[in-house]
Amino acid sequence: MAHIDASFLEINSLDALSRQNTAIHRLDPRAKVLTALIFVVAVVSVDKYEVSGLLPFILYPVVLIALGNLPPGRLLRKILLAAPFAVLIGIFNPLLDRAVLVQMGPLGISGGWISFASILVRFALTVSAALILVATTGFNGVCAALERMRVPKVFVVQLLFLYRYLFVLVEEASRLSRARSLRSFDGKGMGLTVFSSMIGQLLLRSFDRAQRIHRAMLCRGFDGEIRTVRALRFRAADLGFLLGWTLLFIAMRLSNIPAMIGGAITELAK
C-alpha cells in the first residue's frame, strides 16, 4: 500500500512543479510543445553510430532545468525508472552487430556497442525533454496547447482523461491493497488467486467510478472543450524561445560539434 501511495505522489509531483512562476513556466505552452517536438525529432534523426553528435543536445535539458528551478535528482529518478525499457531494446545490439568500428589500442569497439550507447543517450534526452515539458507546463497546459495547434479534439480529450483517470486507478488500487492488508494474517490472502481477484475488482470499480465521474461532468456542463484559467497568448518572448532553440538544434544536427572541437585541438597539438 505504501508503494502504491508513493507512486501516486511521484506521478503528481510533475504537476506540482508546473505551478511555479519562473520565466520558463510563463512561456506559452505551444512554444514549449513545439520546441520539445523539434528537439525529439533532431535527437532521433542522428545516425545510430554517432554518440558524440548527441552530446551537445544535453544543453537543452540542462538550461531548462536551471531556468525552470526543477530538481534534477527527481527527474533523474524518473528517467532511471523507465531506463530498463531502453536497455531491453538495445541489449541485443552487441550480439547482432559485431563489426569493429572504433579501435582504441588493443581494444576494438563493435558497432553494436556504439548503437547501444546511442539508444541509451537518445532515451535519456527524449524522456528528459518530455518530463521537463510536463514539469514546466502541466499536463492540462500541454493538452490545451495541442488543441490550439489543431490536433484532433477527440485525441486530446482522450489523452487528458487517460492522465486524470490514472489517479482514479491508483486511488482504487490503494483502497484494495489496504483492505487486503487488513484482512491478511500470517501471510494468508497474499497469493496469486487473491491478486487475480483484486485485478478484476479493480476493473469493475474503475468502470463504476468512471460512470459516476462522467455523470458529474455532464451535470456541470462539460462539452468537450479544454479550458484553462490563463488565456494562451503567443508573445515575442515565446517566438524567440522557439526560433532560438530551433536554430540551435539545426546547427547541432548538421555539424558534429565535439568532433570539430576534437579535430581543432589535434591540429593545435601538432
| Beta bridge partner(s), residue 108 | 103
| DSSP class of 253 | H
Q: Which residue has the cell 482504487?
A: 172
What type of residue sits at position 7? S
| Beta bridge partner(s), residue 10 | none
The per-residue pLDDT string of the chain (270 residues; one tens digit each, 9 = 90 and over) reads 445 455 555 556 777 888 888 999 999 999 999 999 999 999 999 888 888 888 999 999 999 999 999 999 888 888 888 888 888 888 888 888 777 777 776 777 887 888 888 899 999 999 999 999 999 998 888 888 888 888 888 888 888 887 777 777 777 777 777 777 777 766 666 666 667 777 777 777 777 877 887 788 888 777 766 666 667 788 899 999 999 999 999 999 888 777 777 777 766 766
CA 14 from chain centre, in angstroms, equals: 10
Angle at 80 between CA 47 and CA 72, to 5 degrees: 95
Distances from the Cα of 260 to the Cα of 39, 109, 257, 267, 270, angstroms: 21, 22, 5, 11, 16
* Total residue count of the chain as it appears in this document: 270
